Amino acid sequence: MNTMRATVFQGMNQFEVQEVARPRAGPGEAVIRVTLTTICGTDIHIIRGEYPVKPGLVIGHEPVGVIEELGSGVTGYVIGERVLVGAITPCGQCHACLSGHQAQCGHGSGYEAIGGWRFGNTINGAQAEYLLVPYAQANLTKIPNELSDEQVVLLADIASTGFSGAESGGVRIGDAVAVFAQGPIGLCATVGAKLMGAALIIGVDGDDTRLHMAKRMGADVVLDYRNTDVVAEIKRLTGGGADVTIEALGTQATFENALRSLRPGGTLSSLGVYSGKLQIPYDAFAAGIGDHRIVTTLCPGGKERMRRLMEVVRHKRVDLTPLLTHRFSLDDIREGYRVFGERLDGVLKVAIKP
């Protein structure tokens, strides 16, 4: 069989499932048969034309599958093994990778991309029957037999990103942490803060379903910005400000509130992807003398990162399956995009089964 079905971006608000050429593995590459993937918020930005990619690209970047083909030079794997592949696919050999910044792999090497994010960005992605995996030796992670596809699929992107919000923010045992926005990544940031030992976790959103899920995933207190002065309440609850705030939406309002909610010496960990002009009011930044830190993070990837995240799941430290609220076949993916894009029926995350 030389073709496969795949979700192809055609232009702003235009995409469809088409028959396209099935990939073949070259040296150092692998092809996996995709058994489960997702729709991500970034895919919505692509479809709406808010993040530019080339027409004709297969989109999607959260793949779980079975090894179908191995290129020369890829060792330690066999056809038929179940694998998880991160949304970020570092090569393991460039300056960024060798310097410990795997998420930034590819800078200076001709990729017109944010760091190592290639699936559905610069190369064909995962909303398809088959996926070509670059640098397979560095990016194929075997899935333990006791874990299901549903238990690991969210590790590829949103969990790795959300957890890294707490990691990059330097959350310490006993910290007070406020997480702004409780969408899928914000919910994972809430989980990450709990895993890192935060004593008080405050989840902020304006959606009843997401506030309820925040409590379920580990938030001690939830604040509805529709009827609460969030900054004042965080300062009251924490006795002057949070040690770490995590911004998981990417808007001026959430960024500014996250900054205003910090104690002196606190850290704002930003996971949002911003468009337009982002401003830092001097008073919110204590005129630059508040010893604040602002850190940003791109989803950590690579097989060792995925292995570690699967260990957290395997040892029952976290269960992300409640976030998979809706499931569609590849043929019905257009409806999945509608439900997810319009936030219908309490949707959090949409799973796609090719």
Contact 137, 149 (CB under 8 A): no
CATH code of the domain containing 165: 3.40.50.720
Q: Can you give the pTM of this predicted structure?
A: 0.94
| Domain stop point among 269, 296, 323 | 296
- Domain boundary among the residues 272, 296, 320 is at 296
Both 102 and 191 in one domain: the answer is no
Same-domain pairing of 344 and 282: no
Summarize pLDDT for 144-188 with one digit per residue, the tens. Answer: 999 999 999 999 999 999 999 999 999 999 999 999 999 999 999
Q: Is the dihedral of CA 186, 307, 300, 13 positive or negative?
A: negative
Domain tally, the chain: 2
148 & 8 share domain? yes
Domain that holds residue 220: 159-296
**Same domain, yes or no, for 54 and 112?**
yes
Q: Using CB atoms within 10 A of its CB, is residue 170 exposed (0-12), middle (13-18) or buried (19+)? A: middle
Same domain for 262 and 186:
yes
Task: Tell me the CATH number at 119.
Answer: 3.90.180.10
**For each of the chain's 354 residues, which pLDDT tens digit applies?**
899 999 999 999 999 999 999 999 999 999 999 999 999 999 999 999 988 999 999 999 999 999 999 999 999 999 999 999 999 999 988 888 998 999 999 754 444 446 789 999 999 999 999 999 999 999 999 999 999 999 999 999 999 999 999 999 999 999 999 999 999 999 999 999 999 999 999 999 999 999 999 999 999 999 999 999 999 999 999 999 999 999 999 999 999 999 999 999 999 999 988 877 899 998 998 899 999 999 999 999 999 999 999 999 999 999 999 999 999 999 999 999 999 999 999 999 999 999
Query: Is the same domain home to 78 and 170?
Result: no
Residues 148 and 275 in one domain: no
Residues 286 and 169 in one domain: yes
Tell me the CA distances in angstroms from 106 to 114, 156, 336, one per residue in order. Answer: 9, 19, 32
Same domain, 145 and 237: no
For tokens 């899920």, the residue is 213
Does 12 lie in the same domain as 151?
yes
Give all strands (DSSP E) within 89-147, no chain letters.
130-133, 141-142
pLDDT tens digits, 77-125: 999 999 999 999 999 888 889 989 999 997 544 444 467 899 999 999 9
Which secondary-structure segment (H or E) carries 97? Answer: helix 95-98
Shared-domain flag, residues 271 and 313: no
DSSP conformation letters of 275-311: -S-----TTTTGGGTS--EEEE-----SHHHHHHHHH
27 and 125 housed in the same domain: yes
* β-sheet bridge partners, residue 278: none
